[in-house]
């Protein structure tokens, strides 16, 4: 069901829209988290490290397609805010064709580069075979993953955050069952959890495709309506390319960071993987409030309501501060119990390192929430090039800072998490300056189109 963000309380609107997205993200994170829990409990710390070591490589290619999906949702949210439904069908058709073709190409590239990149990242030899197996299977399932995420993005762009959640719940529960069957019953190990994820993602994509084709009239395309519009693909690329570059640079930075993690050995690789899984769940509300703000800002800018878009920023910042500061006290207390879910009670060193990293990061989660809110606002109003530059600066600062702390100052494993916080502070500073100076104005697709038409008429 589509939702209009141009009226009503900004805080209530953003909060209620974010909740289904948050729940959806919880279930989406269950894919990788359940993989890690099942592997850790049945196969041990080395198998868990193998799954963890592959994350940064997978994210590199996923980030590229996700960037263009984000560009597609920016255009749709603005066109929807302007009530241009005919053009919206053309945006959907063009974006669908582009994203599917791109995902197939990236899946092939991923399978080819898996082993060379694992070696480049100095992946410990004792986990190399399992890491390569897991990654190749995950890359083969990439097109299915992108089908779901594309449909989820366009539905959220028109205010429907509930429908993607329903299909994701079904897929996540399927993944849990298949994980247990493939690993605990059939003894397939790391390959088993990868196949379980692939099958589950294919299911969620298929269900979304059926639903949109039958129920969502504004995206229901008949004969002759499947088009590839050069003007629209230009807009999608214009908004999506900066996001894709941004996400890619961030993921390359993650790969460098993973190499520093691997430098400390398999225990640190497992600990960092576990801490990431837990932190991903904790940061989800912060990310989803920010994503809701992006859609909220896009619709309101498309409708010419700049003041209301800025009211959404204030409301989101309040929610980010409340949640982020609360987690600074709660997360360190519950961290040991969460870590033990991964079957690591006897791996004392792994538990110690993961607890240290989680406790450190928890103190700075409010900074993460603030930069996410401003960054997503800029993306929603079409200022995607700035969002790209800010995120690149985050990586440019984080990677060398981590290198200095690891190899020059020799501060030990905490350097990995400290470098992350330094990156957060960098991107928050840049986004704050951009927002306050108003450099984001005039970047929207709809306002550009309207201005062009008025100029032509004049």
pLDDT in the model for residue 312: 92
Residues for the chain: how many in total? 458
pLDDT at 56: 65
Q: How confident is the model at residue 313 (pLDDT cuts 50, 70, 90)?
A: very high
Locate 87 and state its tokens: 């053009």
- DSSP assignment string, 352-378: HHHHHHHHHHHTTHHHHHHHHHHHHHH
Q: What is the pLDDT of residue 55?
A: 66
pLDDT tier at 318, thresholds 50, 70, 90: very high
Q: Which residues contact 309 (CB under 8 A, 6 or more apart)?
A: 296, 297, 300, 301, 377, 380, 381
- Percent of the chain scoring above 70 in pLDDT: 91
pLDDT in tens, 249-259: 777 787 788 88
Residue 79 zone, left/alpha/beta (φ > 0; ψ -120 to 50; rest): alpha
DSSP 126: G
Taken in order 191, 193, 196, 201, is the CA torsion positive or negative? negative
Which residues fall within 8 angstroms of residue 437, CB to CB, at 6 or more apart? Answer: none
Distance CA 87, CA 125 (A): 53
- Per residue in 45-59, pLDDT tens? 677 677 766 666 777
The angle subtended at Cα 45 by Cα 44 and Cα 47, nearest 5°, is 70
Q: What is the mean pLDDT of the chain?
A: 83
Angle between the N-to-C axes of helices 55-81 and 445-457, in degrees from 0 to 180, rounded to the nearest 10: 40
Tell me if 80 sits within 8 A of 2, measured CB to CB: yes
Distance CA 303, CA 298 (A): 9
Radius of gyration, CA atoms only, the chain: 22
Q: Which sign does the torsion angle of CA 24, 29, 34, 37 carry?
A: negative
Provide the whole-model pTM. Answer: 0.67
Check if the beta carbon of residue 358 is closer than 8 Å to that of residue 278.
Answer: yes
Q: Is the pLDDT of residue 31 over 90?
A: no
Q: What span, in angstroms and rounded, lies between the C-alpha atoms of 193 and 433?
A: 44
Question: Mean pLDDT, to the nearest integer, of 401-417?
Answer: 91
- pLDDT category, 458, cuts 50, 70, 90? very low
> What is the Cα–Cα distance from 278 to 289, expressed in whole angstroms?
19
With a cut of 90, say whether residue 424 has pLDDT above it: yes
Among 134-138, 194-198, 314-318, the range with the most confident prediction by mean pLDDT is: 314-318
Contacts of 298 by beta carbon, 8 Å cutoff, 6+ apart? 74, 77, 78, 81, 157, 380, 381, 382, 444
CB–CB of 350/274 below 8 Å?
yes
Dist. CA 52–CA 50, nearest whole Å? 5
What average pLDDT score do residues 368-393 get? 88
Give dist(CA 34, CA 167) in Å, integer. Answer: 18
Report the pLDDT value the prediction gives residue 2, as an integer from 0 to 100.
Answer: 57
Q: Which candidate, 178, 357, 386, 390, places its Cα nearest to that of 282? A: 357
- In terms of pLDDT, which residue wins out, 421 or 156? 421
Q: Which long-range contacts (CB under 8 A, 24 or more apart) does 20-24 make?
A: 20/161, 20/162, 20/164, 20/165, 21/156, 21/161, 21/164, 21/165, 21/288, 21/291, 21/292, 22/284, 22/285, 22/288, 23/165, 23/169, 24/152, 24/161, 24/164, 24/165, 24/168, 24/169
Reading the block at residue 285, the tokens are 């509300």
Provide the pLDDT for residue 9: 87
Nearest to 195 by CA among 27, 23, 39, 29: 39
End-to-end CA distance of the chain: 39
What pLDDT, on the 0 to 100 scale, is given for residue 414? 92
Q: Rounded to 5 degrees, what are φ and ψ at 8? A: 95, 175
Q: What average pLDDT does this structure show over 383-389?
A: 83
Residue 225 pLDDT: 80
pLDDT score of 64 more than 80: no
Q: What is the pLDDT of residue 455?
A: 35
Return the SS3 of 218: helix
Q: What is the largest CA-CA distance in the chain?
A: 75
What is the structure's pLDDT at 329?
Answer: 92
Tokens linked to 118: 């694992």
Which among 201, 225, 220 has a CA at the least distance from the CA of 210? 220
- The sign of the dihedral angle between the CA atoms of 282, 287, 289, 290 is positive
């Amino acid at each position: 069901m589509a939702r209009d963000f141009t009226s009503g309380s900004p805080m209530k609107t953003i909060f209620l829209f974010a909740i289904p997205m948050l729940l959806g993200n919880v279930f989406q994170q269950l894919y990788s988290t359940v993989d890690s829990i099942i592997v850790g409990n049945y196969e041990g710390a080395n198998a868990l490290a193998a799954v963890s070591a592959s994350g940064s490589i997978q994210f590199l290619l996923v980030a590229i397609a996700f960037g263009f999906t984000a560009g597609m949702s920016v255009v749709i949210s603005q066109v929807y805010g302007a009530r241009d439904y005919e053009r919206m069908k053309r945006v959907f058709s063009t974006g669908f064709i582009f994203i599917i073709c791109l995902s197939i190409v990236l899946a092939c590239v991923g399978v080819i580069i898996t082993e060379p990149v694992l070696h480049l990242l100095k992946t410990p030899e004792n986990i190399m075979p399992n890491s390569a197996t897991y990654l190749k299977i995950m890359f083969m399932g990439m097109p299915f993953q992108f089908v779901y995420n594309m449909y989820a993005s366009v539905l959220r762009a028109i205010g429907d955050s509930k429908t993607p959640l329903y299909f994701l719940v079904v897929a996540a529960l399927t993944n849990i069952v298949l994980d247990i069957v493939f690993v605990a019953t059939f003894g397939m190990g790391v390959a088993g959890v990868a196949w379980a994820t692939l099958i589950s993602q294919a299911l969620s994509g298929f269900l979304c495709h059926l639903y949109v084709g039958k129920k969502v009239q504004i995206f229901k395309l008949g004969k002759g309506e499947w088009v590839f519009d050069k003007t629209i693909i230009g807009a999608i690329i214009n908004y999506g390319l900066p996001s894709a570059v941004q996400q890619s640079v961030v993921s390359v930075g993650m790969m460098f960071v993973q190499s520093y993690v691997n430098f400390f050995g398999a225990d640190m690789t497992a600990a960092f993987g576990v801490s990431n899984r837990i932190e991903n769940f904790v940061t989800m509300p912060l990310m989803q409030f920010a994503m809701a703000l992006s859609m909220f800002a896009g619709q309101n800018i498309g409708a010419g309501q700049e003041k209301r878009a800025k009211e959404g920023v204030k409301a989101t910042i309040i929610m980010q501060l409340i949640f982020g500061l609360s987690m600074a006290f709660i997360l360190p207390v519950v961290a040991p119990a969460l870590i033990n879910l991964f079957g690591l009670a006897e791996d004392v060193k792994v538990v110690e390192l993961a607890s240290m990293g989680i406790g450190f990061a928890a103190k700075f989660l409010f900074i993460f929430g603030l930069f996410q809110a401003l960054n997503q606002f800029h993306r929603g109003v079409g200022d995607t090039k700035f969002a790209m530059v800010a995120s690149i600066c985050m990586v440019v600062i984080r990677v060398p800072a981590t290198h200095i702390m690891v190899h020059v100052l020799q501060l030990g494993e905490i350097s990995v998490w400290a470098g992350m916080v330094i990156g957060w502070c960098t991107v928050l500073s840049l986004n704050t300056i951009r927002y306050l100076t108003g450099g984001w104005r005039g970047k929207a697709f709809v306002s550009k189109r309207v201005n062009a038409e008025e100029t032509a008429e004049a």
